[in-house]
Structure 1
Amino acid sequence: MSEPREVRIKRLKMRSMRRGIKEMDLILSAYADRNLNDMDAPALDSYDALLQENDQDLYQWVTGQVQPPDSFTGLIADIAQTFQK
């Protein structure tokens, strides 16, 4: 049985704020609060996959220090843009 949408969003929000690196906790929890409810299933799949990545890698991608993998380019750009305002 698949996970209900509301449960999935709650799980993703919890995983966004319990990362390991405080900066990623702040960045991803704020992004999740603003965006997850409006995402469709494929976008949630992509975000879920992103949360599997290492915090050091995520931080370097979001801050533009390292180019993210092609599969995450759009999502990382969206996350980064949110915090450069």
Structure 2
Amino acid sequence: MSGTTRSSAGLDTRRRQILFRAWHRGMREMDLIMGRFADAEIADLSEKDLTEFERLIEVTDRDLLGWITGEIETPSNYDTPLFQRLRAFHTHTSPIHG
């Protein structure tokens, strides 16, 4: 089930795949966090940011949710500018935050 509000029309294959994966993580809360961020940002992410977002998508839902809500300390190798943007986006726009 996708909650996306953004069409994938006009996106290259990589961005379409990332958008789909962001909305299909497994844990609904993470679908909303990652999917909403992807809806808002996917078209403007640099290649470096896309690579970092793909890396974050691979993190388990439980760990990533803990990092985003601050319940678990974010490992330094994941505490990147893109992760900080994701956390700030979640804190300011999502009804699901810690």
Q: What TM-score results when the alignment is normalised by the length of structure 2?
A: 0.76
Q: Number of paired residues?
A: 81
Give the aligned residue type for 1:65: E
2:74 is matched with: 68
Task: Please state whether the residue corresponding to 2:31 is helix, strand or coil.
Answer: helix
RMSD: 1.3
Q: Percent identity?
A: 27
1:20 counterpart = 2:21: no
2:58 is matched with: 52
2:8 is matched with: none
CA distance in 1, matches of 2:90, 2:47: 24
- Give structure 1 stretches of 5+ with no counterpart: none
Q: Could you give the per-residue CA deviations for residues 24-59 of structure 1, whole angstroms, max 9, x where no partner exists?
A: 000100000111111111110111111111000010
1:84 is matched with: 91
Which aligned segments of 4 or more residues in structure 1 are displaced greater than 3 angstroms?
A: none
Q: What TM-score results when the alignment is normalised by the length of structure 1?
A: 0.87
Higher normalized helix content (fraction of residues): 1
1:10 counterpart = 2:11: no
Give the aligned residue type for 1:15: R
CA distance in 1, matches of 2:35, 2:42: 10
1:34 counterpart = 2:40: yes
How far is the alpha carbon of 1:68 from its aligned partner?
A: 1.6
How far is the alpha carbon of 1:66 from its aligned partner?
A: 1.1
